[in-house]
Chains A and B, each alone.
Chain A
Amino acid sequence: MAILNVNGIHKNFGKTQVLKGVDFSMEEGEVISIIGSSGSGKTTLLRCISFLETADKGTVVLDGQTVFDAAQPMKRNDKAQREIQAKFGFVFQSFNLFPQYTALENVMLAPKLLAKERPDFKENKKEIFEEIEKNAKDLMDRAGLSEKYNSYPCELSGGQQQRVAICRALALNPKIMLFDEPTSALDPEITNEVLKVIKSLADDGMTMIIVTHEMYFAKNISDRIIFMDGGVIAEEGTPRQIFENPQNPRTREFIASFASQRGDETSK
């Protein structure tokens, strides 16, 4: 059974139709990259799945449970809604770390707040917090941040900040990780350190949707590529199908423009 079903998502901003009916589903452990030119709706789609935007039409089903239905009003502060929210890890293009907290505090904040709602919190406060800290440090160690527990975001490079942000999202044990152009705000020479972390998550079997402009990365890491154009899925398939044998003329154009751009870069 699919872990995620996205059905008929429509989203308008004022009079602009950004999403015009998007459907797809994914299996547990699958890695999907969403590619497409700016304005094709890929970021909006990711934001609709994670409740950052409220879709005008459509449903999202996670693990058999309808977690979003445009026909039903959503209560954002509701406890059940927040539990669902925690199942989606979200990584922003601009990191959005909390500047007043250290890297480790950033990773621990949300788990600590959630732990306070546990019925056994009062008796086991110390153990619970110790466990949260251990888990946070493990995540940071795996992302190569063991030296940076006590650094503030302003003291970290963009690549380090983004890795902290990934750990922060993982700390809530999400079912699906959503990445919104995770390397677009980074200098080319440090995108790799972030991509490596994402790759290692894929190798661990994490279910992920990645909106990206890093075509080679998308090609290498993904089980499936979704090409979006004009608010709909224009084509989807394996990386090989999309990159080597695209069927849709728009996909062909997009892949070709990207390939020629690469050519220009190498010829310089």
Chain B
Amino acid sequence: MKSSALLFGVIYEESMVQSMSTEKIMSILSSLTEGFGMNFLLFIVTLVVAIPLGLLISMGSMSKLNFRIHTLRIYPIRWIFRTFVWIIRGTPLMLQLFVVLYGPGLLFDMPMRSRETAAFVAFAVNYAAYFSEIFRGGIEGIPKGQYEAGQVLAMTKTQVFFKVVLFQVVKRIVPPMGNEIITLVKDTSLARVIGVVEILMSAERFTKQGLIWPLFSTGIYFLVFNGVLTVLLGRLEKKLDYYKG
């Protein structure tokens, strides 16, 4: 067990490590893996919900609907969505977790069913706000000429979006999305602040038994998972790289 004892350059008394049975180590590892299962679930749920939700928010924040009061042009939908994005991006995710967990119960007398649900909601909304800005950048970055070319070729707006624009947007947003997705993997551990049993919380318990290596080993889970994601994202990027522009 020297290798795990030396993890991150921290050395522990050999006796403590050596006194541990293989059984004990296995049970600790399985508890960590179980904890990481929660991180993984939170990761997947967030992605699945936040991507479509983010697309919706990006559409709202690009809304052209407007009217005029005197010299002031009002974009009601755009402003509502941009204010929402500002609030979500401008406040800590940790605070949002608390608000989602306690808010419904305190304000509307409808307590959250479970801490996990609260975490799913807070993460999905938080990441949707970030994704929406990436989508908006991707969509607004498509040259006007692409839409115009679609129009003069008698395509409908829907056809222009799905046949011309969407693919180019996807190509543009893969690198920034990759960044966010990798951040998300690590952020899932924040769920512990509202008592969701994820890997860091599982590992921290063992410090009471005088064991610090389980806590430090959690880093390996994150590193391996993000390593796999990095490879997959790199492949996707390469696949989309068959053309330039």
Total interface residues on A, CB under 8 Å, equals 29
Residues of A within 8 A of B151 (CB): 51-52, 76, 85
Asked whether any CB of chain B lies closer than 8 Å to the CB of A168, the reply is yes
Q: Known contacts being A94-B145, A96-B145, A96-B148, is A77 close to B157, with CB within 8 Å?
A: yes
Residues of B within 8 A of A89 (CB): 152
From B148, B163, B168, B243, give the contact of A113 (CB < 8 A): B163
Asked whether any CB of chain A lies closer than 8 Å to the CB of B155, the reply is yes
From A50, A110, A154, give the contact of B155 (CB < 8 A): A110
Could you tell me the distance between the alpha carbons of A52 and B148 in the complex, rounded to whole angstroms? 7
When C-beta atoms are compared, the residue in chain A nearest to B152 turns out to be: A90
Could you tell me the distance between the alpha carbons of A74 and B132 in the complex, rounded to whole angstroms? 31
Complex contact B245–A154 (CB within 8 A): yes
Band of interface residues on B: 20 to 34
Residues of B within 8 A of A76 (CB): 151, 157
Least Cβ distance of B89 to chain A in Å? 31
Could you tell me the distance between the alpha carbons of A100 and B164 in the complex, rounded to whole angstroms? 8
Asked whether any CB of chain B lies closer than 8 Å to the CB of A82, the reply is yes
**A44-94, CB < 8 A from B:** 50-52, 76-77, 82-83, 85-86, 88-90, 92, 94
When C-beta atoms are compared, the residue in chain B nearest to A98 turns out to be: B164
From B153, B154, B168, give the contact of A100 (CB < 8 A): B168
Least Cβ distance of A28 to chain B in Å? 21
Asked whether any CB of chain A lies closer than 8 Å to the CB of B149, the reply is yes
**B222-245, CB < 8 A from A:** 242-245
Interface hub of B143, B149, B153, B168 (most chain A Cβ within 10 A): B153
Least Cβ distance of B164 to chain A in Å? 5
**A8-62, CB < 8 A from B:** 50-52
Least Cβ distance of A88 to chain B in Å? 7
Asked whether any CB of chain B lies closer than 8 Å to the CB of A159, the reply is no
Least Cβ distance of A255 to chain B in Å? 31
When C-beta atoms are compared, the residue in chain A nearest to B167 turns out to be: A100
Asked whether any CB of chain B lies closer than 8 Å to the CB of A243, the reply is no
Chain B positions 150 through 171: 1 when the CB is less than 8 Å from some CB of chain A, otherwise 0: 0111111101000110011001
Interface hub of A90, A92, A96 (most chain B Cβ within 10 A): A96
Asked whether any CB of chain B lies closer than 8 Å to the CB of A231, the reply is no
Complex contact A52–B152 (CB within 8 A): yes
Complex contact B152–A114 (CB within 8 A): no
Chain A positions 112 through 124: 1 when the CB is less than 8 Å from some CB of chain B, otherwise 0: 0110000000000
Least Cβ distance of B130 to chain A in Å? 26
When C-beta atoms are compared, the residue in chain A nearest to B240 turns out to be: A100
Asked whether any CB of chain B lies closer than 8 Å to the CB of A246, the reply is no
When C-beta atoms are compared, the residue in chain A nearest to B147 turns out to be: A96
Residues of B within 8 A of A100 (CB): 167-168, 171, 243
Residues of A within 8 A of B157 (CB): 76-77
Could you tell me the distance between the alpha carbons of A83 and B155 in the complex, rounded to whole angstroms? 10
Complex contact A77–B152 (CB within 8 A): no
Asked whether any CB of chain A lies closer than 8 Å to the CB of B146, the reply is yes
Complex contact A114–B154 (CB within 8 A): yes
Residues of B within 8 A of A113 (CB): 155, 159, 163
Could you tell me the distance between the alpha carbons of A192 and B148 in the complex, rounded to whole angstroms? 26
Q: Which residues of A contact B (CB under 8 A)?
A: 50-52, 76-77, 82-83, 85-86, 88-90, 92, 94, 96-100, 109-110, 113-114, 152-154, 168-169, 172
